[in-house]
Amino acid sequence: MIKNNIVKRDKSEYGDFQTPFELARKICRWLKEQGIEPQVLVEPTCGCGNFILAALETFPSIQYVYGIEIYKPYINETEKKLEPFVKNRNINIKIIQDDVFHFQFSDIAKKHQSKLILVLGNPPWVTNSGLSVKESGNLPTKSNLKNVAGIEAITGKGNFDIGESATFSMLKTFAESNGCFAFLIKNIVIKNIIQSQQQFAFPISDLRQIDIDAKKEFNANVDAGLFFARFNETSAVDCCVAESFDQPVIRSFGWTNHKFVADIERYKKCAEFDGVSPEIWRQGLKHDCAAVMELATTENGYKNNQNKTVNIEPDLVYPLLKSSDLKGQVITKTNRNVIVPQTLVGQNTDYLATDFPLTFDYLDKHRELFDKRKSVIYKNKPLFSIFGIGDYSFKPFKVAISGLYKQTQFSLVLPIENKPVMLDDTCYFLGFDSLEEATCVMYCLNQPEIQNLLHSIVFWNAKRVITKDILMRLDYFPILQRIEISKMLEYAERQQLTLTKSIFLQNPSFTFGRQHQEFLWK
């Protein structure tokens, strides 16, 4: 339902960032350079009309304009701005107050079948989960989402961008028209649309992402760009990326050989390593109760993050690393600790009261904070339950990487004070029993082949850049087979790692990784 004539409203609920006129003009001029001469202009969420104004100024060919906007004051403002064009150029202009998810855009597509249509604009950049938090009514309804068939399939996890569903809906309606599409959207939405092309195969071609400085233009801390596509033409779905309107293409991303990659040229050079990881990558542990579970080591013993001294048995306290700690190549120190009350997910924790009474009393004193944990995963689970815990968590040597940071270096994590180090759930890791094995794998993962592969498949604008899915694609086994042991040992020496060389040099076989293949060292 349209919240009619609302005078004051929450701008963020409506993703209300009006495009500066200069940027709208720049985009229109760039479109003109691409040979675009539209007869029909469609602006699906036109706001106060800057795109329409810039388009009318740039394209004398425009005969029809359709602007849709939910917010009445903007309709008035747009109509006023466009008055001179109605009078002087006899253009048929309709600025309509409606919801982009209700308006029948298909009527426009049908009516102007033989004309060149330009769908131009900047839809709201908000996610539905952001809106649900605000209990917003500005969401595509379920039935409308059905019209936008498959949006869930694209976005997967039920969290999608309103701009994404608007883009998807416009492509569905107009892809078979004549003309083109130009939307300012988040780059992650462009990626999702291109990724979904394998499934939906809209007849669109000449796909481009032209990056803009969203901080400067909209004061938004997000990677965004102009997404351009020509309708009614089929081609390979690669999307070419340029850093700005006057720069050449810097890379292209899309589907190649049934894999979706971020940099096609770079990927081609290392595609042989895009396979299945010889070992299973694990996410670190999750407890959602940092105030109680995380302890700092101080001169006076453990302190929790309320700065309270915590006097408990040390047995269940393990060193902890977070994403921000995974900086060096070899990690041997941390000031953080975490209480690990279970060795397996779902393990009964009754034993705590008898075996570790101080730990039990401390946790029990804060039971309220555990009960407040929002995630459903903790419902009906043993007291003080944690997740992301298993045999692998207690392996003494780990190779780890942060899921949040824009870096691809793998770190070797060594036991601290004879205890295996835990990682939190922002990190991923492989666990090993021997330093030799862990060092070899860390060395392989940091070789240019795997680093190049990671750089070619990672989309840096995702919220979590490195994921388990990405890591499971890294087949480092061929590198393991090829490494020169002497170089690896030199590297280990530089990192001050004392490896038992005889494992490599005398014992010719070393059971390793995938399908327990016997790997013969050179």
Binding site for ligand SAM (CB under 6 A): 14-19, 45-47, 50-51, 68-71, 74, 99-101, 121-122, 124, 138
- CA 60-20-463 angle, to 5 degrees, is 120
142 or 258: whose CB is closer to ligand SAM?
142
CB of 150 to ligand SAM, least distance (A): 20
Q: How far apart are CA 413 and CA 427, in angstroms?
A: 12
Q: How far apart are CA 423 and CA 412, in angstroms?
A: 12
CB of 291 to ligand SAM, least distance (A): 38
Tokens of 520: 């013969």
Tokens of 293: 């579970």
70 or 497: whose CB is closer to ligand SAM?
70
CB of 434 to ligand SAM, least distance (A): 55
State which H helix or E strand residue 217 sits in: helix 214-218
CB of 129 to ligand SAM, least distance (A): 16
Q: How far apart are CA 33 and CA 419, in angstroms?
A: 64
81 or 514: whose CB is closer to ligand SAM?
81
Instruction: Give me the residue label for tokens 């042991």.
Output: 485
Strands, sheet with 397-402, edge to edge from the N-terminal-most edge strand: 282-283, 427-432, 397-402, 411-413, 330-331
Residue 481's alpha-carbon distances to 5, 278, 285, 451, 498, in angstroms, are 69, 12, 32, 17, 22
SS3 222: coil
130 or 390: whose CB is closer to ligand SAM?
130
Q: Which residues are 127's β-sheet partners?
A: 161
11 or 111: whose CB is closer to ligand SAM?
11
19 or 393: whose CB is closer to ligand SAM?
19
Task: Find the residue with minimal CB distance to ligand SAM.
Answer: 47
Report, in this order, helix, strand and coil percent for the chain, each rounded to 5: 35, 25, 40
CB of 75 to ligand SAM, least distance (A): 10
CB of 44 to ligand SAM, least distance (A): 7
| CB of 244 closer than 8 Å to CB of 27 | no
16 or 436: whose CB is closer to ligand SAM?
16
CB of 36 to ligand SAM, least distance (A): 17
CB of 50 to ligand SAM, least distance (A): 5
Q: How far apart are CA 197 and CA 195, in angstroms?
A: 5
CB of 167 to ligand SAM, least distance (A): 13
| CB of 265 closer than 8 Å to CB of 250 | no
**Best CA proximity match to 465, nearest among 408, 413, 425:** 408
Tokens of 346: 């779902």
DSSP code per residue over 162-176:
HHHHHHHHHHHHHTT
167 or 323: whose CB is closer to ligand SAM?
167
CB of 121 to ligand SAM, least distance (A): 4
146 or 487: whose CB is closer to ligand SAM?
146
91 or 220: whose CB is closer to ligand SAM?
220
- Residue 196 makes CB contacts below 8 A (sequence gap 6+) with 150, 153, 154, 168
214 or 453: whose CB is closer to ligand SAM?
214
CB of 21 to ligand SAM, least distance (A): 9
SS3 423: strand
CB of 165 to ligand SAM, least distance (A): 10
Separation of CA 47 from chain center: 28
CB of 504 to ligand SAM, least distance (A): 59
68 or 457: whose CB is closer to ligand SAM?
68
Q: How far apart are CA 268 and CA 256, in angstroms?
A: 9
SS3 258: coil
SS3 69: strand
For the beta carbon of residue 206, count every other beta carbon within 10 angstroms: 13
12 or 409: whose CB is closer to ligand SAM?
12
Quote the crossing angle between the two packed helices 485-494 and 435-445, to the nearest 10°. Answer: 100
Length of the chain: 522
